[in-house]
């Protein structure tokens, strides 16, 4: 009986799923038609049931649509599980552009532990966003502020 149990345990170990992980590192550079640039450095690990990554975006007068230009640095830490994704953003950036009348507009944005949790019925936001010195709770961002943040975080699509 002891030999049978030992053989069964050995077979279970051979056929059980192993904790297989991949380590991923990438560096991406993007330039726009106006000479602006974006540098993205990312590293992380992927497992069969999740993963994590750390991505840093450094922008210098980057204007992917030829409109307002973004300069600054944003870091994203992401953790993915079987049923949820948590992304935390920290950083500071400036947006330089013009209003409808052609007057210059400069917006300074600071992200402090801006956390987006995606699970269940939609994303949940926490942390703070500071826009031109005004501190706002991320869970209650007015639409104009949310639009600014969403546009900046879209830069991570290049990662």
- Averages of pLDDT over runs of 10 residues in the chain (159 residues) are 48 50 92 94 90 96 89 96 93 93 95 94 92 97 94 88
Domain count, the chain: 1
Residue 16: the pLDDT is 46
Report d(CA 115, CA 41) in Å as an integer.
Answer: 20
In a domain, 8, yes or no: no
Please count the CA atoms within 13 angstroms of the CA of 26 that sit on its side-chain side.
12
In a domain, 108, yes or no: yes
Residue 6: the pLDDT is 46
Rounded to two decimals, what is the model's pTM? 0.82
In a domain, 2, yes or no: no
Show the tokens assigned to 116.
């987006």
Of the candidates 59, 21, 24, the residue with the CA atom closest to the CA atom of residue 42: 24
Task: Report CA torsion sign: 58, 64, 69, 70.
Answer: negative
In a domain, 6, yes or no: no
In a domain, 41, yes or no: yes
In a domain, 5, yes or no: no
Residue 96: the pLDDT is 95
Residues composing the chain: 159
Residues near 57 by beta carbon (within 8 Å), at least 6 away in sequence: 38, 39, 40, 73, 74, 75, 76, 91, 155, 156, 159
In a domain, 128, yes or no: yes
Query: What residues make up the domain containing 124?
Result: 18-158
Residue 64: the pLDDT is 83
In a domain, 1, yes or no: no
């Amino acid at each position: 009986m002891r030999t049978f149990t030992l053989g069964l345990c050995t077979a279970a170990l051979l056929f059980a799923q192993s904790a297989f992980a991949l380590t991923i590192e990438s560096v991406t550079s993007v330039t726009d038609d106006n000479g602006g640039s974006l540098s993205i450095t990312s590293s992380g690990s992927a497992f069969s049931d999740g993963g994590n990554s750390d991505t840093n975006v450094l922008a210098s007068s980057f204007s992917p649509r030829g409109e307002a230009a973004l300069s600054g640095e944003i870091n994203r830490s992401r953790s993915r599980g079987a049923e949820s994704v948590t992304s935390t953003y920290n950083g500071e950036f400036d947006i330089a552009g013009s209003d409808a009348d052609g007057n210059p507009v400069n917006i300074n944005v600071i992200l402090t532990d801006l956390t987006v949790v995606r699970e269940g019925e939609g994303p949940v936001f926490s942390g703070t966003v500071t826009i031109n010195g005004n501190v706002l709770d991320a869970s209650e961002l007015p639409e104009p502020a949310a639009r600014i943040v969403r546009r900046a975080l879209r830069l991570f699509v290049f990662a």
